[in-house]
Amino acid sequence: MSSSGFLINDPKYAFLKELGLAESNKGVFNGKWFANGEVVTSVCPANKRPIAQVQQGTVEDLDSCIKAGQEAWQVWADMPAPARGEIVRQIGEALREKLEPLGKLVALEMGKIKPEGIGEVQEYVDICDFAVGLSRMVGGSVLPSERIGHVLLENWNPLGVVGVITAFNFPVAVYGWNSAIAMVCGDTLLWKGAPSTPLVSVATTKIVASVLEKNKLPGAVSTLCCGGADIGECIAKDERVPLVSFTGSTKVGKQVALMVQERFGRHLLELGGNNAIIVDEDADPEMVVRAALFACVGTAGQRCTTTRRLILHETLYDTVVDRLVKAYGSFMPRIGDPLEDGVLYGPMHSQQGVDGYLTTIEEAQALGGKVLFGGKVLDRDGYYVEPTIITGLPHNSPVVQRETFAPIVYVLKCTSVDEGIKWNNEVKQGLSSSLFTQNLANVFKWLGPKGSDCGIININIPTNGAEIGGAFGGEKHTGGGRESGSDSWKQYMRRSTCTINYTKNLPLAQGIKFE
């Protein structure tokens, strides 16, 4: 391929070189950059033009990363947690310095709009700030012992090398959630990003590596091995990787979980979500429409928390549907190049996403669904499709019950909040959910044991756009993992119960006599 054909050589994309990227890049880092695998070309989904190339890693390259990560752990685990927190603080500062160029790269390579790309890097910055505080707070418990002269403790220690396999739709933030927390906990990192966003993986790793190098620490505290399914499978099966964090589809996540469990490793799964907004009869229709617009079409429907089902009380159904269709119509002029100011909707990430979109719409129509808005591929460069609203399907229709990773929302009519809750909970996934209501009784019903069965339960906000302070994750086929804030740090450490006898006596628990 001619050098002139790569976007990295176009002055319009000069920010790529600010990130240390070149026309050809090595995709493996274990303290040094190298690679021995296939050379892949990263393609911009907005125009289908090549951005730059990355040489992926081989299974042998992966092995060298794991070995280097184990060696680096010997140094990293000995550092006091607040000292590790200081390194993570510096990583946050380094990310702040590259906030705009890295955010633009996310927009260019993934396809989300520039504000979302920059916001994703900001998430990594924010979780670094959170992790710095955590580095002085991670602690165990002192528990009452039933025996005289004994102390009962809970102690937490790092696991070792943590494998992180991330998806194309959040190529920076999800790694940030894992890496910042795992690092302050004393773990080293092994990252395999999505095969279609390798430049983001390389650029992000360069930022982290620069901080480690400046502090004279092993670069292998944070290793990278770009590659495909073969690399992911090896990570899942390798006993030297005690925890594997996987973000992706439910289908692949199940395979990863079985491989990790077969060797009695730990897995942290962030999988699909067939998310719903329920609208009570006393909700504000204007607020619902504004929230639904972002929830349904933001990131071109490619968030795991995107709203797939809009469950409307029958008294508001016509009003909300009419206003939502008008909002979609007003939104169409904001479709465009994700890097341009004012654009609110970019392309699908790949042809695979477009194909899934078209197949699902065809199936929905065959089942009796009516396309009220959208339903077509846009006639322009790139992988652009129309945001789509479908009505007329029952809540238990197979296509409604299945997550499609595209900007398609099914609008359903319910007779009560109780019925809406039942429909919310009947799908296999349990990631995010939201209820729009002014009824306090319904608020607490929604939050309670017979309410939403999701890991994220919102009220009067969309299903997407989670903050980093809370634990992120879901139930059922979403995988049960928790990342980011709250006490998610516990996933990255091992807990020991310790009993200390500071006397000369040896009393047994439960008053047992063995004399």
Q: What are phi and psi of 28, to 5 degrees?
A: -130, 135
- Describe the chain by its helix, strand, coil percentages, rounded to 5: 40, 20, 35
Quickly count: other Cβ atoms within 10 Å of residue 34's Cβ: 14
**Between β-strands 150-158 and 141-143, what pairing exists: parallel, antiparallel or unpaired?**
antiparallel
- DSSP element (H, E) containing 184: helix 173-185
Q: For the sheet containing 493-501, what is the strand order?
A: 141-143, 150-158, 493-501
CB 472 within 8 A of CB 482: yes
Terminal Cα-to-Cα distance of the chain (whole angstroms) = 83
Q: How big is the CA angle at 119 (ends 101 and 127), to the nearest 5 degrees?
A: 105
408 phi/psi in degrees, rounded to 5: -125, 125
Q: How far is residue 118's CA from residue 412's CA, in Å, rounded to a whole number? A: 34
Token pair 């991330």: residue: 166
CA distance 458 to 344: 24
CA 299 centroid distance within chain: 13
d(C-alpha 472, C-alpha 416), whole Å: 29
DSSP state for residue 66 in the 8-state scheme: H
Q: Which residues are catalytic?
A: 270
- CB of 80 closer than 8 Å to CB of 141: no
If DSSP states are collapsed to H, E and C, what string results for 428-474?
CEECEEEEECCCHHHHHHHHCCCCCCCCEEEECCCCCCCCCCCEECC
- Return the residue matching tokens 């079985």: 258
**H or E, element range at 329:** helix 317-331
Q: Six-digit token pair at 77?
A: 């685990």
Cross-strand pairs, 414: 313
Residue 269 phi, psi (nearest 5):
-110, 130
